[in-house]
């Protein structure tokens, strides 16, 4: 058994046993779901809007080379710099190189899951740079030295008392149970950082090809400050975030907000088309966009699951997922949690090591149904299972399936088996829970259902005989 699977099993056992935390998280997720449904209902036709969004992302992702080059051409014409990173190490090295070369001391960051993906903070801190996360949730998680719990709501699992205690310990502030005051503590602390930082690092929600801009969606204003005050702005973005046209944002911004947080539009949706231009009074002197591949092209090469790259990271599939509700965000052990994370992580980090995520699914399809860009999420989980089994079959599974097929294709054998099953079950208590118990994974926490004394086939025959 692999170490990653071991970790997953022990983490999920622990988190599912924490019933109060589960109830707390479930209540918050339910709140997002209700709000989203309300806002969705204001659309004239949400389903057709979804179709349009899906088709636009299809167009972008399936002509990715063309649109990325168009973006690059337009963006560099206005003084921006584009760096293409094959992998995490290259992206880190480029940003570190910039920081060294420009004599940077202090760095302020707005939320970027790509930076979690490449472990950018650790790399920067190791070289002595001060790095401060400015999104409130990320700021809290950074102080807690914990990765985000949910890629849209990083600290949704924490109660205000825990946050107050954390601030007290790390910032020396007085305890409070008011979210308002806690927010103000972070606000006061971070205001100084925007003004003193030499470099601002952001992510990006969309790369717009035809106007050479990137678009950033947020509520707090921290990304706007991160990209307004420091003299260097670096945006680290996955290559799949492409949109062909600026006007596509007129659909995607409302859909991202609706699906993500249930808002009509998040508070700030900003489009950045370069560093400060002649005639403008402020803005960074330099603007670098780092286009990150880091195995995204591996997923692109799988036409069956390519649409997983349409994802706009709204987090809606996490909010409705029964698995996420029960095991929570940290147990996944991935940068991207929830159903979409379970689909893409095996492509990014190895199918065999991460195939268990496709097993941790009820295949209820709630994720697929809620996805604003119509990614076929739950079928992709099945496809990952199939691909993993085909790539590296498990010997005992093969034996079991062989036996199953033999039995199911021979009615006489099936009849014998169903006749014998009740007797076999009588012997079950002898091995229950032990290494010889074939269903011990099941009986660990549940009772095995009793096998019927009579098969359906026999029952039906008897019933017919009675009638005639």
* Binding flag, residue 31, another protein (CB under 8 A): yes
CA distance 160 to 157: 10
Binds another protein (CB under 8 A): choice among 5, 96, 271, 414: 271
Pick between residue 85 and residue 360 the one whose CB is nearest to another protein: 85
* Residue owning tokens 């006489």: 412
Binds another protein (CB under 8 A): choice among 100, 105, 264, 461: 264
Binds another protein (CB under 8 A): choice among 96, 113, 143, 246: 246
Binds another protein (CB under 8 A): choice among 13, 265, 382, 452: 265
Q: Which stretch binds another protein (CB under 8 A): 12-20, 242-250, 312-320, 401-409?
A: 242-250
Q: According to DSSP H, which parts of 366-410 are helical?
A: 366-370, 377-391, 395-408
* Binding flag, residue 381, another protein (CB under 8 A): no
Binds another protein (CB under 8 A): choice among 64, 104, 120, 388: 64
Which parts of 126-155 interact with another protein (CB under 8 A)?
134-137, 140, 153-155
Which two structure tokens, joined as six digits, stand for 266? 């998040």
* Binding flag, residue 16, another protein (CB under 8 A): no
CA distance 451 to 1: 31
Number of shown-chain residues binding another protein (CB under 8 A): 109
Binds another protein (CB under 8 A): choice among 83, 113, 349, 417: 83
Pick between residue 37 and residue 247 the one whose CB is nearest to another protein: 247
> Cβ 136 to another protein, closest distance in Å?
4
For the chain, the residue count is: 468
* Binding flag, residue 374, another protein (CB under 8 A): yes
CA distance 463 to 285: 85
* Residue owning tokens 């650790």: 122
First to last CA, the chain: 57
Task: Determine whether 46 is exposed, middle or buried from the number of CB atoms within 10 Å of its CB (0-12, 13-18, 19+).
Answer: middle
Pick between residue 222 and residue 358 the one whose CB is nearest to another protein: 222
Which parts of 287-306 interact with another protein (CB under 8 A)?
287, 291, 293, 297-298, 300-301, 303-304, 306
Residues 6+ apart with CB under 8 A from 203: 110, 111, 112, 113, 114, 115, 216, 235, 236, 237
Checking DSSP bridges between strand 232-238 and strand 199-202, what pairing results, if any? Answer: parallel
Binds another protein (CB under 8 A): choice among 4, 8, 15, 68: 68
């Amino acid at each position: 058994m692999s170490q990653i699977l071991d970790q997953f099993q022990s983490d999920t056992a622990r988190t599912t046993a924490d019933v109060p935390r589960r109830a707390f998280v479930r209540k918050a997720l339910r709140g997002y779901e209700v709000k989203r449904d309300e806002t969705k209902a204001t659309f004239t036709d949400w389903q057709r809007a979804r179709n349009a969004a899906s088709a636009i992302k299809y167009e972008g992702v399936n002509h990715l080379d063309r649109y990325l080059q168009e973006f690059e051409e337009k963006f560099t014409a206005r003084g921006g710099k584009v760096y293409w990173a094959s992998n995490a190490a290259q992206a880190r090295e480029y940003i570190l190189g910039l920081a060294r070369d420009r004599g940077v001391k202090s760095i302020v960051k707005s939320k970027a899951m790509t930076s979690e993906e490449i472990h950018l903070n650790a790399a920067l801190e190791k070289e002595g740079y001060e790095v401060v996360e400015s999104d409130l949730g990320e700021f809290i998680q950074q102080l807690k030295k914990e990765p985000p719990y949910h890629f849209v709501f990083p600290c949704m699992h924490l109660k205000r008392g825990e946050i107050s205690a954390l601030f007290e310990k790390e910032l020396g502030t007085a305890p409070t149970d008011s979210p308002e005051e806690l927010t103000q503590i972070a606000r006061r602390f971070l205001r100084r950082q925007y003004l003193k930082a030499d470099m601002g690092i952001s992510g990006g929600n969309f790369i717009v090809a035809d106007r050479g801009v990137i678009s950033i969606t947020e509520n707090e204003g921290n990304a706007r400050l991160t990209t307004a005050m420091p003299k260097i702005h670096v945006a680290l973005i996955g290559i799949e975030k492409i949109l062909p046209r600026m006007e596509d944002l007129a659909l995607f911004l409302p859909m991202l907000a609706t699906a993500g947080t249930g808002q009509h539009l998040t508070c700030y949706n900003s489009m950045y088309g370069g560093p400060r231009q002649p005639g403008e009074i402020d803005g960074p002197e330099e603007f670098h966009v780092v286009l990150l591949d880091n195995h995204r092209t591996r997923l692109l090469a799988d036409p069956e699951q390519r649409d997983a790259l349409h994802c706009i990271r709204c987090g809606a599939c996490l909010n409705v997922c029964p698995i996420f509700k029960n095991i929570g965000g940290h147990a996944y052990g991935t940068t991207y949690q929830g159903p979409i994370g379970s689909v893409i992580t095996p492509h990014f980090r190895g199918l065999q090591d991460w195939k268990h995520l496709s097993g941790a699914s009820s295949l209820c399809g709630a994720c697929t149904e809620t996805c604003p860009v119509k990614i076929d999420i739950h079928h992709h989980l099945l496809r990952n299972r199939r691909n993993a089994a085909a790539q590296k079959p498990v010997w005992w599974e093969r034996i079991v399936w062989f036996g199953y097929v033999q039995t199911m294709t021979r009615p006489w054998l099936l009849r014998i088996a169903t006749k014998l099953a009740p007797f076999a079950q009588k012997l079950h208590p002898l091995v229950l829970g032990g290494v010889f118990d074939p269903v011990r994974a099941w009986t660990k926490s549940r009772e095995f259902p009793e096998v019927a004394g009579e098969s359906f086939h026999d029952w039906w025959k008897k019933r017919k005989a009675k009638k005639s």
